[in-house]
Amino acid sequence: MAFPSTTVQMKKRIVALILAISVLGSSVIIGRLFQLQVVQAEDLQKRAARQQMRVTSLSAQRGTIYDRNGEILAMSGTVWTVYLSPVDIDSEEERSLIAKGLSEILDVSEEFVLEKSQRNTYYEIIKKKIERPLADEVTEFVTENGITCVGLEEDYKRYYPYGTLASTVLGFTGSENQGAYGIEAYYDSVLSGTNGQIVSAKNAWGTDMPFKYEKMYEAQNGNDLVLTIDVNIQRFVDKHLEQAVIEHEVQNKACAIVMDVKTGEILAMSTKPDFDPNSPNTIYDENVQAQLDAITDEDARQEALLEAQYEQWRNKAISDPYEPGSVFKIITASAVLEEKVVGLNNSFTCTGSYESGGVVYHCWKLAGHGTQNFAQTLQNSCNPAFISYGQALGKEKFREYFQAFGLTQTTGIDLPGEAGSIYHAEEDFGVTELSSSSFGQTFKVTALQLITAVSAAVNGGELMQPYIVKQVADEEKNVVSETTPVVKRQVISNETSATMASLCESVVSEGSGRNARLPGFRIGGKTGTSEKLGANDSDWKILSFVGFAPADDPQIAVLVMLDEPKLDDPYGSTIAAPIVKNMLADILPYC
Ligand SMILES: [Zn+2]
């Protein structure tokens, strides 16, 4: 065990301490006792006169977060706090030597150190959370100059070795190592462990004798988490999503999810632009930073900064409900096939518009699609056909399936900040609402709700519980708990589901999803384009695509959603589908 501060006096104390407690054999305790004895001895001595007993906390080390392959996504490393005991400064000469030396090593001003050194205290923090090379420099400086009033105490700092990767999912910790956002916040009690205590008697402080403790309760370090996230898949998804945001000048962020359709495991979840959890308060979007810099009023700027920070931490995939548009036709199609109100041999003629309940709806193809069979209506994403399917299904059945596919409730994923959907209340659900809902408009769901519903449509009909933590393990890697896949309910039959997978494959092989075609792989999918509800400018759209593979036995699904790309004529089929194709081109050979 290396001690960063090694003055002669301290060395004596340390040797005495180690002899006194070596039987315990715990390096953590030794480290903390060192801190207690060396750092706080004087202070404690003073207080001991007033206190019969003293209770000192021993920090637990926060657990590590791994991806599904054992790659470290978040870990705690040892850092040090540099402190000064002003009352122990021997001379004015030593005072200026310390101020000069520490200011150079720690990049703080000499005035700052001098000001602290004038105080009549035993403990003044000069700098927190410094890392190894700096800590060694401080040790060298105090040793060489025989300084006894400067020391180092151990602390922990959170590191995220992959930087921005999955940052909106992982979250980050606060200055006291507490979980502040994302998984770090949701699983804080699992990760943080339990601090220990030293309960010590007042006597023996400050003498040459090692202090005598009454009782010591070891800190219980936090448990580790193993996520369902796969670093490689996450990296592929991040890369393509980031490119898309830049290329299409996406104004209101983009998100993507990769799900194991059979288990509900989240293999990747991405929001772009995002942030680096190693420094979560830094604004990473240059445009946003420029806007902040332009605010002259300090209070207004601080307020805007806070808002911008919350915005960049936001996990769009679970927090921002949106109109799914035509992707939702997978759900309508599943329901009508399951209820057998419309068959595969059904024929529908699209003239370009359709009247229902006194409202005329236009197909996106104004000239009309002509006469189509069921598969062709899905391939063409024909709105009039789907309005007629909705009418055939009826209000009650439509609502039943909407609910059964999990779209009326949050999924209950183990992440904080999940939003629910926004949809018509039963009493407001008339023929008009049924019509618009049938092709995915006038209601909002989250990307996570939608990919979970689509997965149910093609995985054999089971609505799965999505989850992101696979396993909790203790310090010795013993499994404390393991998440097993949960089937919430059977929504459609195995047979209908197989039909849906095959229909979706035809959307990619022959229909509007052909931009997602990938030679050598059987891919199913559906495009979505929707105008933003309440948007003043109808040019602002949300483009999305959900793809899955292999189409004959679906294993993984990928959803991509771009919120407000800047384009002349944006359609999900031309923009979002190729992004999913590029992701699958990387993911499928890897899986
Ligand atoms: Zn049509």
Residue 209's pLDDT is what?
36
Q: Kindly indicate the confidence band of residue 197, based on its pLDDT and cuts at 50, 70 and 90.
A: confident
Residue-wise pLDDT tens digits, 514-542:
888 898 999 999 999 887 755 555 567 89
Residue-wise pLDDT tens digits, 153-169:
878 889 999 999 999 99
Residue 196 has pLDDT above 90, yes or no: no
What's the gap in Å between 573 CA and the centre of ligand 1? 15
Q: Kindly indicate the confidence band of residue 175, based on its pLDDT and cuts at 50, 70 and 90.
A: confident
Residue 80's pLDDT is what?
87
CB burial readout 188-208, b (16+ within 10 A) else e: bebbbbeebebebbbeebeee
Instruction: Say if CB 389 and CB 333 are below 8 A apart.
Output: yes
153-157, 301-305, 335-339: which range is least confident on average? 153-157
Residue 167's pLDDT is what?
97
Beta-carbon neighbour count of residue 589 at 10 Å?
Answer: 9
Residue 78's pLDDT is what?
85
Tell me the average pLDDT across 87-116.
94
Residue 57's pLDDT is what?
62
Residue-wise pLDDT tens digits, 62-99:
999 999 999 999 999 888 889 998 988 989 999 999 99
Residue 478 has pLDDT above 50, yes or no: yes
Q: Across the beta sheet with 213-217, what order do the strands follow?
A: 53-58, 196-201, 213-217
Residue 511's pLDDT is what?
84
Tell me the average pLDDT across 321-342.
97
What's the gap in Å between 181 CA and the centre of ligand 1? 45
Around ion ligand 1, which residues have CB less than 5 A away? Answer: 350, 363, 369, 382
Residue-wise pLDDT tens digits, 377-403:
999 999 999 999 999 999 999 999 999
Residue 512's pLDDT is what?
84
Residue 5 has pLDDT above 80, yes or no: no
What's the gap in Å between 541 CA and the centre of ligand 1? 20
What's the gap in Å between 346 CA and the centre of ligand 1? 15
Instruction: Report the range out of 33-47, 110-124, 145-159, 367-381 with the highest average pLDDT.
Output: 367-381
Measured CA to CA, the distance from residue 414 to residue 405 in angstroms comes to: 19
Residue 24 has pLDDT above 50, yes or no: no
What is the percentage of the chain residues whose pLDDT exceeds 70? 85
What's the gap in Å between 403 CA and the centre of ligand 1? 27
Tell me the average pLDDT across 165-179.
93
Residue-wise pLDDT tens digits, 209-227:
344 445 778 888 999 999 9
Tell me the average pLDDT across 307-319.
96
pTM of the model: 0.84
Residue 119's pLDDT is what?
92
Measured CA to CA, the distance from residue 247 to residue 235 in angstroms comes to: 18
Residue 335 has pLDDT above 60, yes or no: yes
Residue 23 has pLDDT above 90, yes or no: no
Q: Kindly indicate the confidence band of residue 43, based on its pLDDT and cuts at 50, 70 and 90.
A: low
Q: Strands 254-260, 224-227: parallel, antiparallel or unpaired by DSSP?
A: unpaired
62's tokens: 């926060």
Q: Kindly indicate the confidence band of residue 587, based on its pLDDT and cuts at 50, 70 and 90.
A: very high
Residue 32's pLDDT is what?
45
Q: Kindly indicate the confidence band of residue 301, based on its pLDDT and cuts at 50, 70 and 90.
A: very high
Residue 52 has pLDDT above 60, yes or no: no
The angle subtended at Cα 389 by Cα 553 and Cα 559, nearest 5°, is 40
What is the percentage of the chain residues whose pLDDT exceeds 90? 72
Residue 55's pLDDT is what?
58
For 479-528, the DSSP string reads EEEE----EEEE-S-HHHHHHHHHHHHHHHHTSTTGGG--TTS--EEEEE
Residue-wise pLDDT tens digits, 410-443:
999 999 999 999 999 999 999 999 999 999 999 9
Residue-wise pLDDT tens digits, 236-280:
999 999 999 999 999 999 999 999 999 999 999 999 999 999 999
Verify whether residue 497 is a known catalytic residue: no
What's the gap in Å between 434 CA and the centre of ligand 1? 18
Phi/psi of residue 180, nearest 5 degrees: -110, -20
| Burial class of residue 542 (count of CB atoms within 10 Å of its CB; 0-12, 13-18, 19+) | buried
What's the gap in Å between 379 CA and the centre of ligand 1? 10
What's the gap in Å between 369 CA and the centre of ligand 1? 4
Catalytic choice (5, 326, 356, 388): 326
Furthest C-alpha separation in the chain: 97
Q: Kindly indicate the confidence band of residue 203, based on its pLDDT and cuts at 50, 70 and 90.
A: very low
What integer best gives the mean pLDDT of the chain? 87
Residue 135's pLDDT is what?
92
Residue 479's pLDDT is what?
96
Residue 458's pLDDT is what?
98
Residue 590's pLDDT is what?
92
Residue 156's pLDDT is what?
84
Residue 557's pLDDT is what?
98
Residue 7 has pLDDT above 80, yes or no: no
Residue-wise pLDDT tens digits, 561-572:
999 998 766 566
What's the gap in Å between 519 CA and the centre of ligand 1? 28
In sequence order, the 6+-apart residues with CB closer than 8 A to the CB of 5 are 38, 138, 139, 142, 143, 150, 151, 152
Measured CA to CA, the distance from residue 167 to residue 315 in angstroms comes to: 9
Residue 2 has pLDDT above 70, yes or no: no
- Could you give the dihedral angle defined by the CA atoms of residues 429, 433, 439 and 442, in that order, rounded to the nearest 10 degrees? -100
